[in-house]
A and B are shown apart, each in its own frame.
Chain A
Amino acid sequence: MIRRLVRYLDQRSGTAPLMRRSMRYLFPDHWSFLLGEVALYAFIVLVVTGTYLALFYTDGTTPVHYHGTYAPLRGQEMTAAYKSVVDLSFSVKAGLLIRQTHHWAADVFIAAIFVHLLRVFFTGAYRTPRELTYWLGVTMLMVALLEGFLGYSLVDDLLSGMGLAIGYAVVLSIPFVGANLAELIWGGPFPGGQSFFARMYILHVFLIPILIAVLLTAHLALVALRHHTQFRGRRQTQRKLVGLPLYPAQTPRSLGLFAAVAGVLFLLGGLVQINPIWLWGPFHTYSSTNGAQPDWYLGWLIGALRLVPGWDFTIGHYTVVPNPFWGGAAFPLVVFGFLYLWPWLERRFGGDVAYHNLLDRPRDAAWRSAIGMGILTWTSFVFFAGASDRVDVLFGLSYSAQIRAYRVLVWVLPIVVGAITYRVCIELRRGELVQGERKRAEAEARAARGPA
């Protein structure tokens, strides 16, 4: 039966050699190589659940009055978009499950990309010949952040509407062209209206998913073409790849991981509430609530926006750099700029231009680990600074005092952590060298004693 099928396909496409080669394609076995797959499967869950949601959502901004089943909203004026999501959550069977699964999948998707990025960075997997793969990945991370933001902003609830206002302010803050760009994107000053929601909708359900799919395909193709990196081992060398074949060994493992991702996401989607928009109410430009935060992957931006002291940088009447630019645009630009430039920086200043199939352990590359930890500390610290109002509420530590302290710590802490990381790497390596010498000396001593 199998033979008949394979013959049919090969006669019509000539792909039997390709099938044969791909079935024997090898996957090195370390668990950290599966993190990218977690992100991939989360993306698939996003597309499937998202398609379902798109069949119920309407991007209308016409004000309507709610007369549905949820009492606290009855009679309130809201946009058709918000109402469609409330109706989906309350009146469509499994609607709330799919909506929540979709939102959890977005949070987990970006978390998985981030952890995958950490693995790739600290093991040096981005080095020649895999820079293109790496740049595609960093681009996907950036696009995923935007995609998530657009996704939860489509709902037009109070929390996400406030977030859109801040996004508008960040675009406005771009020097020289900010206002013009914002006008173009929003179709006029905030809040924009119907055409702006149409743009968000088409970007979120069509253009960006296609973009991610294309980038993802290229990313995976490059991984396959150059084959996967691996950690050094007895059999694993620069020339020899050791791993499990795609079929039959890797297939059930990967499919199992896919099912596990779907399982965890659906369990979260059914058991843990996320974004209960009926509690927040609809967005109005003249309304706001305390404790509004963006989804976790934009928390670094709210921290940055809160930390920057209150200056608009002006020359006469011309406002060159409005305040939100530093936290909302310059900060992420620097972080992503670092990510994009790093392979080139390492080649240029580290002098290592060789072709690498073997991975470093973090301790093997002290400079890379130190600088990486420094940037990571910088970004994480800003992220946690964004929750300092919560710290005041919970522990009584003055918010303004925290902000003042963090403005200094945010520069000091990365340097300290980077320096410590460097030393730790060096010391670990030294320890291993000493261990190695000791083992060699003992072996020699045993050999000298002879078989006695």
Chain B
Amino acid sequence: MTLRRIGPLALLLCCLLAPPAAAPAGGGVVQQGKALYGQYCLSCHGANGRGISQAGKRRIGAGPLRRQAVQVGLGPSLRGVGALAADFYLTTGYMPLQHVGVQPRRSRVLLTNGEIRSLVAYVASLGSGPPIPEPQPQRGSLSQGMQLFTDHCAGCHQIAARGGYVTGAVPPPLQDATPVQIAEAVRVGPYVMPAFSAKAISDAQLDSIIRYVDYTKHPDNRGGWAIGDVGPVPEGLVAWLIGLTALIAVCVVIGERLKQDG
């Protein structure tokens, strides 16, 4: 056998034996993420995370099923959103979304931590985006946090982070949010929430805000039973259902008894 014949054969052998092509570092995790992506995200976010701006039946598959038309929804592009966004949406259960157009809400997380890591790695690989943040709330200032929260957040989330209403959306209460999730949400601006970049709210300021939100989980309620920390509505209920009811009961006791006397 001449070298000319062995060359291509050797090349073929190398290709067959070589690991899968174009895999970035931690290649197995990303591949697993890609598989999960195909399972949960493809039908709205499109192939390679490019996003789908028109719903309808589409051929978007790869491999043996690529000829089959599937119903696709609408979803934004995930190119460049980074691990930050993916981690936020997956750890809160915001994604996968039940149907297109509803507000994403905190729900039961169907994926395991390992699966989430893989998906995050895959989405991060789709472009260069921000990594998962590492907030340090203990370094933040509680009072600065309260002021920043009042300026930027209380209008939607209520001053004690109990959530509220905006036309067309329901900003959620924040008592279940972890510091990482808060940091992520502030940068992403999910659904109709504004997105605050590091220029608008620096990492140090974000630490203060997270420290304040943490505080709202157990605020100073030295006045007694806090009845929700949402203000006059539960107060009115207590005034009527506890206060006035008790006093009317006393009136009935005083007045009613008289029929037996005298």
Interface set of A (CB-CB < 8 Å, partner B): 29-35, 38, 70-76, 89-90, 96, 100, 104, 107-108, 111-112, 115, 158-159, 244, 249, 253, 256-257, 260-261, 264-265, 268, 270-276, 278-281, 287-297, 299, 387, 389-390, 392-393, 399-400
The smallest beta-carbon distance between A403 and chain B, in angstroms, is 10
Q: Would you call A72 and B170 a contact (CB within 8 A)?
A: no
Q: Would you call B233 and A257 a contact (CB within 8 A)?
A: no
Q: Would you call B236 and A281 a contact (CB within 8 A)?
A: no
Describe B's contact surface by its main secondary structure: helix
Q: In the bound complex, how far is the Cα of B226 from the Cα of A100, in angstroms?
A: 12
Q: Would you call B247 and A273 a contact (CB within 8 A)?
A: no
Q: Would you call A272 and B224 a contact (CB within 8 A)?
A: yes
Q: Would you call A296 and B240 a contact (CB within 8 A)?
A: yes
- Which of A89, A96, A294 is B232 in contact with, Cβ under 8 Å? A294
A38 proximity list for chain B (CB < 8 A): 244, 247-248, 251
Q: In the bound complex, how far is the Cα of B162 from the Cα of A73, in angstroms?
A: 19
B145: nearest residue on chain A (CB-CB)?
Answer: A72
Q: Would you call B247 and A260 a contact (CB within 8 A)?
A: yes
Q: In the bound complex, how far is the Cα of B253 from the Cα of A260, in angstroms?
A: 12
Q: Report if B229 contacts A (CB, 8 A).
A: yes
Q: In the bound complex, how far is the Cα of B220 from the Cα of A261, in angstroms?
A: 28
Q: Would you call B254 and A276 a contact (CB within 8 A)?
A: no
Q: Which one of B23-31, B150-158, B182-190, B196-204 contacts A?
A: B150-158
Q: Report if B95 contacts A (CB, 8 A).
A: no
Q: In the bound complex, how far is the Cα of B160 from the Cα of A398, in angstroms?
A: 24
Interface set of B (CB-CB < 8 Å, partner A): 142-147, 150-151, 154-160, 162-167, 170-171, 212, 215, 219-227, 229-233, 235-236, 238-240, 242-244, 246-248, 250-256, 258-259, 262
The smallest beta-carbon distance between B27 and chain A, in angstroms, is 43
A278: nearest residue on chain B (CB-CB)?
Answer: B220
A275 proximity list for chain B (CB < 8 A): 231-232, 235
The smallest beta-carbon distance between B158 and chain A, in angstroms, is 4
Q: Would you call B238 and A31 a contact (CB within 8 A)?
A: no
B157 proximity list for chain A (CB < 8 A): 290
Q: Would you call A296 and B159 a contact (CB within 8 A)?
A: no
Instruction: Jot down 11 A-B pairs with beta carbons below 8 A, ordered by A.
Output: A38-B244, A158-B150, A249-B262, A268-B239, A274-B223, A274-B235, A275-B231, A279-B160, A287-B151, A290-B155, A290-B164
Q: Would you call B258 and A393 a contact (CB within 8 A)?
A: no
